[in-house]
Amino acid sequence: MEKLRIYAVSRESALAMLDSLKKFRAELAVAESPGGYEVLVALNGDAEIVGVLDALQQHVTQRADGPARVELNGTRYVMHAEPDGQPG
């Protein structure tokens, strides 16, 4: 089973992401860097990956407070808010 790692800038940010991903298998973790938090999401198949990414895109767009930094299969990505304010 794959895991998506979402890097959060604060505990509050991590908890907000966790709330937006509540229908998935997401959990809060303390990051290795001091003061950092992560949200880890267990993924089972392509459909679930798409669902998690859609929910995260919606969260990033609605909060309009900067991008989300994520990691999947060892590759890091940055998700920005949709320019028109509407999720994909």
d(CA 83, CA 15) in angstroms, rounded, equals: 24
**pLDDT tens digit string along 46-74?**
889 999 999 999 999 998 778 999 999 89
d(CA 69, CA 5) in angstroms, rounded, equals: 8
Q: Which two tokens stand for residue 66?
A: 């900067």
Query: Is the pLDDT confidence value at 87 over 70?
Result: no
Q: How many residues does the chain have?
A: 88
**pLDDT tens digit string along 23-52?**
999 999 988 777 789 999 999 988 899 999
List, in order of start, the domains of the chain with CATH numbers: 2-79 (3.30.70.2520)
